């Protein structure tokens, strides 16, 4: 198990090399010729020109920084975060996701949302504070549920507009203020496909930095109702036998893990 120890301030002594997650206009810098699976710490770059710089913590003893640069340095290119993450080993991928969210929070809270005074970095925790009114802003997290509805040996999979061609996935939706995640699962499944569910089982969660979601995934057993796709949200939905699934997301996202692991659980009889 890879150990990442988050921290707001670096501890001394600093590590000899660092991971530097640098972004230009919201995209992650990678070496021009990089195969990100093969990236090593010796290929990291120090970037003194950073406009904004945040310490993230240590990944297996190596200091990790996030920063924003004004332009791409020679020999590096800025690529969309999602594409970069898909090529990274998982521990690095998760630190890159963390870097993106910290920088996005920092960018979006330069001024107090209550009184418009410029905010300041608060020492000792990941927060910006307004010196005029005391309003404190922490990195924003938006919890969202993911639900894989099953019925016997079939899975309910759906497409949203914007999915890659041919790809189907589990249902997903944001938690509303005042709502539990379990309530959200029941509501979103009813809204998106018109069916009722029970027997919710927690599967796992994943930080999803597009831009700041926390995906919380469940399996849910179908109880009643025929599929009626929600207009504008669901382009197509259907029941798929576990041995005849359509294209599904890669394991990169929790949906990819959830669907594959649920198929295995149905096959071995452990999902009931």
Which residues here bind Zn ion, judged by CB under 5 A? 112, 114-115, 117, 130, 132-133, 135
Min separation Cβ 126 and Zn ion, Å: 18
Return the number of the residue (88 or 112) whose C-beta is nearest Zn ion: 112
Q: What backbone phi and psi angles, to 5 degrees, belong to 102?
A: -65, -45
Residue 149, C-beta contacts closer than 8 angstroms, at least 6 positions apart: 155, 156, 170, 171, 189, 193, 195, 197, 219, 220, 221, 222
Give the span between the Cα atoms of 170 and 151, in whole angstroms.
Answer: 14
Give the span between the Cα atoms of 262 and 24, in whole angstroms.
Answer: 39
Min separation Cβ 131 and Zn ion, Å: 8
Min separation Cβ 121 and Zn ion, Å: 15
Return the number of the residue (45 or 132) whose C-beta is nearest Zn ion: 132
Q: What backbone phi and psi angles, to 5 degrees, belong to 63?
A: -65, 140
Whether residue 41 contacts residue 62, with contact meaning beta carbons closer than 8 Å, is answered with yes
Return the number of the residue (114 or 141) whose C-beta is nearest Zn ion: 114
Return the number of the residue (132 or 264) whose C-beta is nearest Zn ion: 132
Give the span between the Cα atoms of 134 and 112, in whole angstroms.
Answer: 9
**DSSP per-residue codes, 203-226:** EEEEEETTTTEEEEEEEEEEEE--
Compute the C-alpha angle 244/247/251, nearest 5°.
110
Return the number of the residue (140 or 267) whose C-beta is nearest Zn ion: 140
Min separation Cβ 106 and Zn ion, Å: 17
Return the number of the residue (135 or 187) whose C-beta is nearest Zn ion: 135
Min separation Cβ 102 and Zn ion, Å: 21
Min separation Cβ 136 and Zn ion, Å: 10
């Amino acid at each position: 198990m890879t150990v990442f120890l988050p921290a707001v301030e670096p501890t001394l002594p600093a590590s000899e090399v660092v991971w530097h997650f640098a972004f230009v206009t919201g995209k992650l810098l990678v070496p021009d010729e990089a195969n990100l699976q093969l990236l090593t710490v010796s290929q990291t770059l120090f970037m003194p020109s950073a406009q904004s710089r945040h310490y993230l913590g240590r990944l297996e003893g190596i200091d990790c920084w996030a920063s924003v640069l004004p332009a791409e340095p020679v020999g590096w290119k800025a690529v969309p975060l999602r594409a970069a993450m898909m090529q990274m080993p998982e521990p690095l991928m998760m630190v890159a996701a963390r870097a993106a969210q910290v920088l996005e929070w920092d960018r979006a809270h330069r001024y107090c949302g209550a009184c418009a005074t410029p905010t300041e970095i608060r020492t000792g925790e990941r927060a910006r504070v307004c010196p005029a009114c005391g309003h404190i802003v922490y990195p924003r997290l938006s919890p969202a549920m993911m639900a894989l509805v099953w019925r016997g040996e079939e899975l309910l999979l759906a497409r949203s507009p914007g999915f890659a061609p041919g790809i189907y996935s589990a249902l997903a939706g944001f938690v509303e203020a005042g709502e539990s995640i379990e309530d959200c699962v029941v509501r979103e499944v009813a809204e998106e496909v018109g069916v009722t569910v029970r027997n919710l089982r927690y599967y796992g969660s994943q930080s999803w930095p597009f831009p700041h979601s926390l995906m919380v995934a469940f399996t849910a057993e179908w109880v009643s109702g025929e599929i009626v796709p929600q207009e504008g949200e669901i382009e197509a939905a259907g029941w798929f036998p576990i041995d005849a699934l359509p294209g599904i997301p890669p394991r990169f996202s929790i949906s990819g893990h959830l669907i594959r692991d649920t198929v295995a659980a149905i096959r071995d009889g452990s999902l009931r």
